Structure 1
Amino acid sequence: MMINDTYTSLDTARRLHVLGDWDQAAALLAGEESSEALELKAEILYERFLFRVDGIEAAADAIAALDAGSLQARLLAARLAYTRLLFQVDPLPGDYDAAEAGYRFAAADPKTHGWGEFHWGALLDNISEDSAAAKAHYAEALQASYQEGDVILEAMVLRHLAWHVIGDGDRDEGLRMLRRSLHLRSAAGMRPQVAAAQLLLASELPVDDPERATLVEAARSVADELRLSWVRTGIEKLAA
């Protein structure tokens, strides 16, 4: 049986993407011109920027190479605008409006409704600091994750909701949500996201809790290997 080289490259790139081996994943797609390959490459380079806070030009160029009217292009462009604002990496004057418009567009499409709602919530939460509006979008995204059986979306929403739950006084429930988010990410093999979840859970545990030390040790190992910028910074603050 003959193997389709394009499919093999895409399949391997997807797996490397999940593992956080963004450089190798993108290299596998060099020269590929199918819309599927271009969208995957753009997502890979965006996520590399998200975790390393480096390589924004490559991510922006890859997103710009997509069909500007496509759902994936609109969503990735919105996420890039949001991330520029979040990390203050050369933000553009229209970034907030661009992010909100892209998330609104994604939320209106059945294929990306839950993810659009989730990212919209994060924009309101982390940039506008509008907790009430953010929680409404998170709740909609969480419901979509249950309806669609999307455990990755559930994991992402739980991480963001947990802090609000803890802030509202239900610490036990918030910790349960953080642990479930970590477990779901671990089951999917998403190493960068696992390290981030380990850091976030550790930050909510007492300094003398053995679980905290284990989480920090594990997160530091992956953060160093994959060069996860803000995870490293978070670990350093916990160790200070």
Structure 2
Amino acid sequence: MIADDTYTSLGAARRLHVLGDWDHAAALLAEEESTEALELKAEILYERFLFRVDGLEAAADAIASLDPESTQARLLTARLAYTRLLFQVDPLPEDYETAEAGYRFAAANPETQGWAEFHWGALLDNVREDSAAARAHYAKALQASYQEGDLILESIVLRHLAWHVVDDGDREEGLRMLRRSLHLRSAAGLRPQIAAAQLLLAAELPEDDPERATLVETARNIANELSLTWVRTGLEKLAA
């Protein structure tokens, strides 16, 4: 019975996580003590912080409860440090070094290599503003997504690479990448990530394009429902 209850809690929490219902997902795991449950809870609370830019302490505490030498703990610690820097939410002096070290560690593990390479690229791209170095890591992450058949990883990498492709002058290819990213997320039902992809694609379309209007409308509905702070801010800027 205990095993069945744990399985049910984990399964339900994973589904709620996908839907962006972080509060209920975390609540389902409140009494769970298995490594799998603690890692899932930490990921859920981190992602809530990432999208809402709120709940830093809860995310940090959940990550601190993990085995500090585990790959998942190192990767989530790195991601938390990166997000503090990205949004300038109580950043620590050592956050950049913490993030880079965690990504390097996770990139050495075949099970997390692709995701670690992506996050390493985002750190270089968005914090260090080193486009060339970032794209090298994105390329490794994209290759890993193809090898592993990880469509979610592919979606995430395409979204970040598309900006560079557009800046290089190939707008049509950039739009193709953004649309594929959106379609892959939609197929997986990842509601917060869907709204983010809709925002980014809408921003690249002409103001009078009907597709842009539809993207803004649907992204706004999700962002308001799930309290996606930076997605709502981005939508407001599009409407200004």
Q: Same fold (TM over 0.5)?
A: yes
Structure 2 partner of 1:195: 195
Structure 1 partner of 2:34: 34
Structure-2 change in CA distance of 1:9 and 1:128 (3 Å) = same
Aligned structure 1 segments of 4 or more residues deviating by more than 2 angstroms: none
Q: Secondary structure at the match of 1:4?
A: helix
- Measure the CA separation in 2 of the matches of 1:85 and 1:203: 24
**Identity of paired residues, percent?**
82
- Measure the CA separation in 2 of the matches of 1:3 and 1:124: 42
Residue type of the partner of 1:221?
N
Structure 2 partner of 1:23: 23
Where structure 1 has 5 or more consecutive residues not aligned to the other structure, the ranges are none
Residue 174 (1) aligns with residue 204 (2):
no
Structure-2 change in CA distance of 1:208 and 1:101 (3 Å) = same
CA RMSD, 1 decimal: 1.0
Q: 1:1-240 residue pairs with structure 2 within 5 A? A: 4-240=4-240
Deviation at 1:129, TM superposition (A): 0.2
- Measure the CA separation in 2 of the matches of 1:83 and 1:116: 15
Residue type of the partner of 1:95?
D
- Measure the CA separation in 2 of the matches of 1:142 and 1:92: 30
Residue type of the partner of 1:80?
L
Residues 206-231 of structure 1: per-residue CA shift (max 9 Å, x gap) = 00000000000000000000000000
- Measure the CA separation in 2 of the matches of 1:200 and 1:168: 17
- Measure the CA separation in 2 of the matches of 1:25 and 1:135: 34
Residues 56-91 of structure 1: per-residue CA shift (max 9 Å, x gap) = 000000000000000100000000000000000000
- Measure the CA separation in 2 of the matches of 1:113 and 1:38: 21
- Measure the CA separation in 1 of the matches of 2:220 and 2:155: 21
- Measure the CA separation in 1 of the matches of 2:177 and 2:189: 19
Where structure 2 has 5 or more consecutive residues not aligned to the other structure, the ranges are none
Deviation at 1:3, TM superposition (A): 7.4
- Measure the CA separation in 2 of the matches of 1:56 and 1:2: 31
- Measure the CA separation in 2 of the matches of 1:94 and 1:183: 37
- Measure the CA separation in 2 of the matches of 1:20 and 1:206: 29
Residues 145-166 of structure 1: per-residue CA shift (max 9 Å, x gap) = 0000000000000000000000
Q: Secondary structure at the match of 1:49?
A: helix
Residue type of the partner of 2:136?
A
Deviation at 1:203, TM superposition (A): 0.3
- Measure the CA separation in 1 of the matches of 2:119 and 2:142: 12
Residues 91-121 of structure 1: per-residue CA shift (max 9 Å, x gap) = 0000000000000111111000100100000
Deviation at 1:31, TM superposition (A): 1.1
Residue type of the partner of 1:137?
H
- Measure the CA separation in 1 of the matches of 2:163 and 2:132: 13
- Measure the CA separation in 2 of the matches of 1:155 and 1:43: 19
- Measure the CA separation in 2 of the matches of 1:89 and 1:230: 13
